[in-house]
Structure 1
Amino acid sequence: MVRLLPRVLPKGLPEIAKVRIPGVTLPMSRLVIGCDNRDTPAEGAVVWDAWMEAGGNAFDTAFVYGGGKHEAVLGQWIASRGVEDKIVVIAKGAHSPYCTPRAIGAQLEISLGRLGLDRVPIYIMHRDNPDVPVGEFVDAVNRLIEAGTVGIWGGSNWEVSRLAEAQDYAAQKGLVGPAILNNNLSLAVMEKPVWAGCISSNEPGTLGFLRERQVVHLSWSSQARGYFLPEELRNRLPEDTRPETCFGSDRNAERRRRAEELARERGVSANAVALAWVLAQPFPSLALVGPRSPGEIASSLPALKVELSPEEVAWLNLETGDRARGAA
């Protein structure tokens, strides 16, 4: 039986839609909540109960978050609410400097223990290590798939050339290749890496690859760390990772101006338009968000009402000069 707290979100908000991802048993919400900021089960319950109330059932965590504390807190909430068979947990491991084939299985065993789960439907390598032949990573993850502890898998902050190489290797060997890319993808292009080793997917080659192979993309910092918020709200983060520090540029300022223009027409915020842009990509696109309160969940949901045409998607990203005609 699912045990959640009483309803806390305002009525009338759109519900988070769910999609089918090949290899994942449950339909999963197109918005995924990041679980890297809740230090106690009580703190987690307030947000995660509200997340499920909003229709969200996808949770993103990682071996390194909070030195392991955040996986354990999520696991306690899962057990207390009895939702282990109703949610999709995305587990990440093998972060640098422990990005080795040997670390994958060892870390996953620890993560499963913290989470109180027997398996995770989605496993993502948190980083790539180009010094290791990609086939060794494919082999290591496939041993976990064969053992039944992993469903599908992918890579975070991977170059698409390596992802393609891993897919091709798996196809040749009759193995399961990576099906998910977990890079930054936001309407604002990342100009300075938020953290060392981070990669943006908002560049023509990567977007073309995702369209061609229809790779599932799970974007982190999908709203560019608040770059599209009103000016007075943008600088609440540490200076070295503030939105203007990591995303500030003339071209991004124009993207924001266009998002604000469209937002006024649609009666939503520019932040909602930016999130809608991620969801409107011509490949399976999921957006990772990091609300710290039910109120922040509620503020993201209006994006789900914004339907963008392909011409508007291109116009917002400065690929065209006229959204009405789609003309350059």
Structure 2
Amino acid sequence: MEYIQIAGVSKPVSRLIKGSDYFRPEVYGKVCDNLDAYLEIGGNTIDTAHGYCGGDSERTIGRYMQERNNRDRIVILTKGAHHNKDGPRVNKAAIDSDLAESLERLQTDSVELYALHRDDENVPVGAIIEALNAHLEAGRIQAIGASNWSWQRIEEANAYAAAHGLTGFAFSSPNLSLAKTNEPFWAGCVSADEATCDWHERTGLPLLSWSSQARGFFTGRFSPEVRDDADVVRVFYNDGNWERLRRAEELAKTKGASVIQIALAYVLQQPFPTCALIGAQNLAELQSCDEGARIKLTAAEREWLDLRRDALTLQA
């Protein structure tokens, strides 16, 4: 397992980050088996959020860490200030409340990584940075980040932090995958486009990608004729992605890999620090992700997969 360093975080962050949006008490045994296997392959970072499973995701992780007595082995990424039925909640009161509740559920006094789950561009970045810095100073958070923020807003926030002697965002967590989206998967979500990736390359800010394997688009389950998953059809069905899939199939044959492993390698072989949030729910899927994370791609291969290069001489 490879790791990256995120400024302010005392532990290295594994490049495969375990998703937890199915963690509920009724599948606790499955969760334990899955997390044990994830730690066994060298993973150490779990992604969760205040809103996942009505709070059960965080509660389940907290119970697991208490029973295994392994909090010291784990990096926690949790998120807060998501909008609700009344609208946006990116404000100090929501941040304070959500973080306090998340820490209680997780049965810990601090988390390594804390991200704002959504943005509200009507709120000045200064107020947001100041609210988050209060928790950094209190030791409740080691590093702050932004999930589903544009790179322009992150740049503005970090400029404010630098000008006021504060700590800025140390990571971003948009969607990044080989399949490009037609529209956001959920309202307010951000996918990394070419300009976003160029900005990350310039700044070196780590990108932690959710839906890094495009909701299973590269598993072989989908084709233009298969339209039983309305969300995948809505978000990922386009001519460009069918060509990306064809090229991933071609490259997979030369590397002795599966197509979905090539798609994962694409995310992890960017010219800036990246991690991939994975939804693996059993040992076979975890092992597949582990193998995919070890695949190396040249810049030419990555550009060819992404349709930024017309031709590529493939070698076995």
TM-score scaled by length of structure 1: 0.90
Structure 1 unaligned segments of length 5 or more: list them. 1-15
Offset from partner CA, 1:66-104 (integer Å, 9 cap, x none): 111111011000111111111100010010132222211
Instruction: Look up the match of 2:260.
Output: 271
Structure 1: distance between partners of 2:218 and 2:147:
24
* Cα distance change, pair 236–53 in 1 and its aligned pair in 2 (3 A): farther
The residue type paired with residue 16 of structure 2 is: L
Structure 2: distance between partners of 1:231 and 1:70:
28
How far off is 1:239 after superposition? 2.9
Matches within 5 A, 1:179-328: 179-201=170-192, 203-231=193-221, 239-242=229-232, 244-324=233-313
* 1:44 equivalent among 31, 51, 54: 31
TM-score scaled by length of structure 2: 0.93
* Cα distance change, pair 232–282 in 1 and its aligned pair in 2 (3 A): closer
Kindly indicate whether the alpha-carbon contact (under 8 Å) linking 1:93 and 1:104 is maintained by their aligned counterparts in 2. yes
228-237 vs 105-114, greater mean Cα deviation: 228-237
* Cα distance change, pair 59–234 in 1 and its aligned pair in 2 (3 A): farther
Instruction: Look up the match of 2:109.
Output: 118
Kindly indicate whether the alpha-carbon contact (under 8 Å) linking 1:119 and 1:148 is maintained by their aligned counterparts in 2. yes
The residue type paired with residue 262 of structure 2 is: V
1:75 paired with 2:62, answer: yes
* Cα distance change, pair 144–237 in 1 and its aligned pair in 2 (3 A): farther
1:89 paired with 2:79, answer: no
Q: Secondary structure of 1:218's partner?
A: strand
Structure 2: distance between partners of 1:150 and 1:235:
47
Structure 2: distance between partners of 1:110 and 1:237:
40
Q: Secondary structure of 1:62's partner?
A: coil
Q: Secondary structure of 1:231's partner?
A: coil
* Cα distance change, pair 236–157 in 1 and its aligned pair in 2 (3 A): farther
Give percent identity, aligned residues only.
40
Instruction: Look up the match of 2:42.
Output: 55
Offset from partner CA, 1:249-296 (integer Å, 9 cap, x none): 101111111111000000111100010010001111010011122222
Q: Secondary structure of 2:177's partner?
A: coil
Instruction: Look up the match of 2:93.
Output: 102
Structure 2: distance between partners of 1:241 and 1:75:
31
Aligned residues: 308
Structure 2 unaligned segments of length 5 or more: list them. none
Query: Which 4+ stretches in 1 moved above 4 angstroms?
Result: 232-238
What CA RMSD, in Å, does the superposition of the two structures yield over aligned residues? Answer: 1.9
Matches within 5 A, 1:128-139: 128-139=119-130
Q: Secondary structure of 1:155's partner?
A: strand
Offset from partner CA, 1:106-142 (integer Å, 9 cap, x none): 1101100000111011100000011110111100000
Offset from partner CA, 1:176-203 (integer Å, 9 cap, x none): 00111100000111112211111110x2
Q: Secondary structure of 1:320's partner?
A: coil
How far off is 1:105 after superposition? 1.4
Structure 2: distance between partners of 1:304 and 1:184:
17
